[in-house]
Amino acid sequence: MKKLLLFMLVAIMAVSMVGCGQKPAEKPAEDAAPAAPAGKVYNVVNLVNGNLGDKSFFDAAESGLKALAEAGRITYKTIEMGGTDQDQPKWLETLNEVASSGEYDLVICGTYQMPDYLKEAATTYPDQKFLIYDDNTYVGVNQNVVNITYRQNDMGYLIGTFAGKMTTETSVANINPESVVGFIGGIDSPVINDFLYGFLLGAQSANPEIKVDTRYVNSYVDTATAKEMGLSMINDKKADILWGVAGLSGNGAAEAALESGKAWFIGVDSDQELTLPADQAAITLTSGLKNVGQSIIWLFDEWDAGRTYWGQEVRLGIPEGGVGIVTDKNFAALVPQAVQDAVLAAQADIVAGKITVPTAIGDTTNAVVTLRDSLQP
């Protein structure tokens, strides 16, 4: 029998407070930076290949920089370059302009659309330091670039713990007696399977009877196919929780959960309760987070401590505050306390080193595939 409990979770701690168990920022506005140490105040420019107000990575980066500025550790300006096809020629032009000025200690940009432009600018201006977040395309090519990426396997473990425990709570609306959840991935690739590996392990740890229906859309922009998959998971396999890890395609899983009236949705990368239409947001219990703002604060903490990573990739997980889970709104209002406690315990164990979540990236044993296949309903 599954029990109804109430919900509350403490998410990932602040990036620079490793091991302290502080609740992390769930929204960009909640980022915080320690006071400035005696010494250098950095001058920074943040290049947005889009516009602020996205309620996602760009706003999160801006929040981290604002916190650093309020702490007296940096001065900065943000340049919104626009995100349309017509705007793209400005991206390299702006990179070259700020790099050639010699004004900035660090030039920041992010996301999958910027690596080619950044590589060209970083090669042309080898004395300028650059940071790119959520991308590792050209790691090591330029010794003046640091790549920040995120341990999606850590994130997956928290979300899996949540889903595995939540699907036992049959007193909650839409939760059925079957222990089945769904994972809709974009492409069967190491990165997507890294999310999946943590998800499977976390779900299995929280619920040894769990079954996970895993399917791949083979696209990041095909919401219709993802919706079909989601409806099949719900109606044929009795899944009551779907995690969409498929870019725009993943929103099709939210559509399926809403249309069926028999399931919940979990978002990814940013707080999708803030970005989905209101009716889909209402059935989104939580989201896995890449804490971009906190990761930028972490980099400055390291820089001030004399630890630099130019020419390297840095993967930030739960201990560094690089990833987390949304713990307010629906999570706080609808999720039983026992589920919150299970996620909090998983987080604490990862921070303490009691749990090390394996990664699918670079794993030649195909352990994630073996586990995935064994848990199919």
Share of the chain above pLDDT 70, in %: 90
How confident is residue 363, by pLDDT bands cut at 50, 70 and 90? very high
Look over the chain and give the mean of its residue pLDDT values, rounded to a whole number: 90
pLDDT of residue 55: 85
pLDDT of residue 37: 52
How confident is residue 54, by pLDDT bands cut at 50, 70 and 90? confident
Third-level CATH fold of 152-290+322-374: Rossmann fold (3.40.50)
Is residue 213 predicted with pLDDT exceeding 70? Answer: yes
Packing angle, helices 152-166 and 190-206, rounded to 10: 40
**Taking the C-alpha atoms of 297, 302, 305 and 307 in order, what is their torsion angle to the nearest 10 degrees?**
-160
Thinking of the domain 28-150+291-316, which architecture would CATH place it in? 3-Layer(aba) Sandwich (3.40)
Q: Which whole number is the average pLDDT over 332-345?
A: 96
Q: Which whole number is the average pLDDT over 40-52?
A: 96
Torsion sign, CA atoms 271, 117, 80, 307: positive
- The pTM of the full predicted model, rounded to 2 decimals, is 0.86
Q: Which whole number is the average pLDDT over 205-230?
A: 97
How confident is residue 31, by pLDDT bands cut at 50, 70 and 90? low
pLDDT in tens, 105-156: 999 999 999 999 999 999 999 999 999 999 999 999 999 999 999 999 999 9
Is residue 8 predicted with pLDDT exceeding 80? Answer: no
Is residue 168 predicted with pLDDT exceeding 70? Answer: yes
Structural domain spans, the chain: 28-150+291-316, 152-290+322-374
pLDDT of residue 16: 34
| 28-150+291-316 shares its CATH topology with 152-290+322-374 | yes
How confident is residue 11, by pLDDT bands cut at 50, 70 and 90? very low
Q: Which whole number is the average pLDDT over 183-199?
A: 97
Please give the order of strands across the beta sheet that includes 74-80: 74-80, 42-48, 106-110, 130-133, 145-150, 313-316
pLDDT in tens, 243-302: 999 999 999 999 999 999 999 999 999 999 999 999 999 999 999 999 999 999 999 999
Lowest mean pLDDT among 5-19, 326-340, 353-367: 5-19
pLDDT of residue 33: 53
Q: What is the residue type of 78?
A: T
pLDDT in tens, 61-75: 999 999 999 999 999
